């Protein structure tokens, strides 16, 4: 193992900063130094924002905070960057009699983030909401309110290259499962001692991705990452050790991949320079929700895409072409499928830019059917391992973009 170690691809915060931390690193490794540098930057950015507010008050001027507008209308997509980017439109929250509560809440939420970084801890959206119950007049009455404030702060700092995870806000949802030719290095949050987690050694089980993956680094000699839609297919590939014969890393997305799963794949692929192939159902949902979200992000969370999407991902299958070539059992497209496919062709910047995708989606609409990845079981339960995947993997140049 360990042919390729994760290279010090600087994380986004470091790109902005460039400097190394002056704090004593927790464990003395490069990794710690990199994480400390990112943490220092996060704290400095929070402090800077607060100081501007403080100065304005000192000068008897009305302080304000400007947040990017989070909506599909404020999104850019270029093939070169490879992900949905948030645009330039902003909303300004000035301190007035009417906004005093939400203004105070925003500052307290930024203060919570600073505390979390300094104590090396984290909070989910739920945690943050309940924390606020002790903020007296600044407490939130509903979690939807605190969620919106957290999203705004996240969007504001994303412009400076800081991700939500660097602010120490983590998702409530679980991460995906991983197995195969990969060692994950995870420093202990207290002692800094690095745990080496060998993903070939989980038997029929797997490694479950933590909610926060920024601190991880990797060693691998795998040739590619295979991101699999369903738990059932992942279990088949894992139990038959497909990763051994194919020299790869398997990731179970279990539907639309969670944020931690996407960030994990992105970081792993970036740092170890290995390609990512997606293996999902051939239907408008698999293509335009699961694959598109994995690759370029989603419209209403474009401020996250720079960190979470995997622009290098390519689509192995199941393709409309596969349906006829492998004579797969199909289901007819429902109205909702047809609507989703037509929407993708008409409104989605990603599909509008990629001709091969327009052809594939049109082909699917003409055929009027969809097929699940497990439909390959028609030819035998392990046909997918023995025939389908090896044939596909011999020609990555045929994968859809």
Q: Which residues bind a copy of itself (CB under 8 A)?
A: 121-124, 126-127, 130-131, 133-134, 170-175, 177, 184, 186-189, 195, 197, 201-212, 215-216, 230-232, 234-236, 238-240, 252, 254, 329, 372, 374-382
Burial 359-375 (b: 16+ CB within 10 A, else e): ebbeebbebebbbbbbb
Whether 282 contacts 16, CB under 8 Å: no
Minimum distance of a copy of itself from residue 124's CB (angstroms): 4
In degrees rounded to 5, what are phi and psi of residue 70?
Answer: -100, 90
Please say which residue, 91 or 133, places its beta carbon nearer to a copy of itself.
133
Q: Is the dihedral of CA 190, 193, 194, 195 positive or negative?
A: negative
User: Which of left, alpha, beta for 268 (phi over 0: left; psi -120 to 50: alpha)?
Assistant: alpha
Identify the three-state secondary structure at position 332.
strand
How buried is residue 106: exposed, middle or buried, by Cβ count under 10 Å (0-12/13-18/19+)?
buried
Minimum distance of a copy of itself from residue 295's CB (angstroms): 22
Please say which residue, 54 or 201, places its beta carbon nearer to a copy of itself.
201
Minimum distance of a copy of itself from residue 375's CB (angstroms): 5
Q: Establish whether 130 is a catalytic residue.
A: yes
Please say which residue, 47 or 201, places its beta carbon nearer to a copy of itself.
201
Please say which residue, 89 or 245, places its beta carbon nearer to a copy of itself.
245
Minimum distance of a copy of itself from residue 130's CB (angstroms): 4
Give kind and range of the element (H or E) at residue 38: helix 30-58
CA-based nearest residue to 374, from 253, 229, 268, 247:
229
Minimum distance of a copy of itself from residue 319's CB (angstroms): 18
What are the residues whose beta carbons fall under 8 Å from the beta carbon of 225, sequence distance 6 or more? 248, 249, 251, 265, 268, 269, 274, 275, 276, 277
Whether 212 contacts 189, CB under 8 Å: no
Please say which residue, 153 or 228, places its beta carbon nearer to a copy of itself.
228
Please say which residue, 184 or 400, places its beta carbon nearer to a copy of itself.
184
Minimum distance of a copy of itself from residue 121's CB (angstroms): 6
Give the C-alpha separation, 122 to 397, whole Å.
Answer: 42
Please say which residue, 111 or 380, places its beta carbon nearer to a copy of itself.
380
CA-based nearest residue to 21, from 6, 8, 31:
31
Give the C-alpha separation, 73 to 76, whole Å.
Answer: 9
Minimum distance of a copy of itself from residue 254's CB (angstroms): 5
Residue from 130, 207, 277, 285 carrying the catalytic annotation: 130
Give the C-alpha separation, 41 to 10, whole Å.
Answer: 13
CA-based nearest residue to 319, from 275, 367, 353:
367
Give the C-alpha separation, 280 to 289, whole Å.
Answer: 11
Which sequence positions are flagged as catalytic? 130
């Amino acid at each position: 193992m360990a042919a390729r170690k994760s290279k010090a691809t600087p994380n986004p915060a470091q790109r902005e900063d460039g400097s190394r931390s002056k704090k004593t690193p927790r464990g003395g490794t490069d990794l710690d130094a990199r994480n400390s540098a990112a943490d220092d930057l996060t704290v400095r950015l929070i402090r800077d924002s607060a100081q501007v507010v403080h100065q304005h008050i000192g000068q008897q001027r009305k302080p304000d905070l400007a947040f990017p507008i989070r909506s599909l209308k404020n999104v850019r997509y270029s093939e070169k960057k490879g992900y949905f980017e948030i645009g330039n439109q902003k909303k300004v929250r000035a301190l007035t009699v009417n906004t005093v509560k939400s203004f105070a809440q925003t500052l307290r939420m930024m203060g919570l983030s600073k505390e979390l970084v300094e104590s090396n801890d984290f909070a989910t959206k739920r945690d943050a909401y309940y924390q606020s119950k002790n903020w007296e007049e600044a407490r939130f009455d509903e979690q939807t309110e605190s969620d919106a404030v957290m999203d705004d702060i996240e969007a504001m700092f994303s412009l400076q290259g800081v991700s939500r995870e660097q602010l120490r806000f983590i998702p409530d949802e679980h991460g995906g499962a991983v197995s195969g030719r990969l060692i994950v290095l995870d420093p202990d949050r207290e002692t800094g001692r690095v745990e080496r987690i060998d993903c070939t050694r989980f038997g029929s089980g797997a490694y479950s991705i933590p909610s926060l993956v920024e601190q991880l680094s990797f060693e691998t000699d795998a040739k590619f990452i295979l991101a699999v839609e369903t738990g059932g297919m992942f279990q088949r590939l894992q139990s038959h050790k497909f990763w051994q014969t194919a020299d790869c890393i398997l990731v179970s997305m279990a539907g639309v991949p969670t944020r931690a799963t996407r960030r994990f794949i992105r970081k792993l692929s970036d740092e170890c320079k290995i390609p990512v192939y997606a293996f999902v159902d051939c239907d408008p949902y698999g293509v335009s929700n699961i694959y598109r979200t994995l690759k370029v992000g989603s419209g209403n969370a474009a401020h996250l895409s720079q960190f979470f999407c995997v622009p290098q991902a390519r689509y192995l299958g199941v393709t409309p072409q596969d349906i006829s070539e492998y004579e797969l059992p199909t289901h007819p497209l429902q109205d909702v499928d047809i609507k989703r496919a037509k929407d993708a062709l008409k409104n989605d910047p990603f599909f509008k830019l990629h001709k091969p995708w327009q052809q594939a989606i049109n082909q699917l609409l003409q055929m009027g059917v969809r097929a699940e990845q497990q439909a390959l079981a028609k030819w035998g339960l392990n046909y997918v391992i023995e025939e389908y995947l090896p044939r596909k993997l011999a020609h990555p140049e045929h994968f859809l973009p």
